[in-house]
Amino acid sequence: MDIELLISNLTNPTLLFFLLGIIAAVVKSDLEIPSPTVKFISLYLLFSIGFKGGQQLAGGPLTGEIVTALAFGMLLSAVVPFYTFFILKRKMSVANAGAIAAAYGSVSAVTFVAASSFLEAQALPAGGHMVAVMALMEAPAIIIGVYLIGRYSASQQTGTSIQGIIAHSFTNGSVLMVMGSLVIGFIADVKQAEGIKPFTTDIFKGFLAIFLLEMGMVTARRFSAFRQYGWFAGLFALAVPLVNGCVVAAVSGFFITGIGDRLLFAVLAASASYIAVPAAMRLAAPEADPGLYIPMALGLTFPLNITIGMPLYYSIIRTL
How much is the average pLDDT of 237-252? 96
Share of the chain above pLDDT 70, in %: 93
Judge whether residue 174 has pLDDT over 80. Answer: no
User: What is the crossing angle of helices 162-171 and 173-187, to 10°?
Assistant: 50
Look up the pTM and report it.
0.82
The answer as to whether 3 is a domain residue is no
The answer as to whether 2 is a domain residue is no
The answer as to whether 314 is a domain residue is yes
Residue 145 contacts by C-beta under 8 Å, 6 or more apart in sequence?
Answer: 81, 85, 98, 99, 101, 102, 103, 105, 277, 281, 284, 285
We report the CATH number of the domain holding residue 294 as 1.20.1530.20
Q: pLDDT tens digits, residue range 56-114?
A: 777 777 788 889 998 999 999 999 999 999 999 999 999 999 999 999 999 988 899 89
Measure Cα distances from 220 to 27, 66, 79, 225, 295 in Å. Answer: 10, 38, 31, 10, 9
Q: Where are the beta strands (DSSP E) in 166-217?
A: none
Average pLDDT score over the chain: 86
- How many Å apart are CA 149 and CA 222, to the nearest integer? 25
| Residue 214, helix vs strand vs coil | helix
The answer as to whether 26 is a domain residue is no
- Give 157's DSSP letter: -
Name the domain count of the chain. 1
The answer as to whether 97 is a domain residue is yes
- How many Å apart are CA 108 and CA 1, to the nearest integer? 24
How much is the average pLDDT of 179-195? 85
User: What is the per-residue pLDDT for 154?
Assistant: 67
Domain that residue 44 falls in: 8-21+33-319
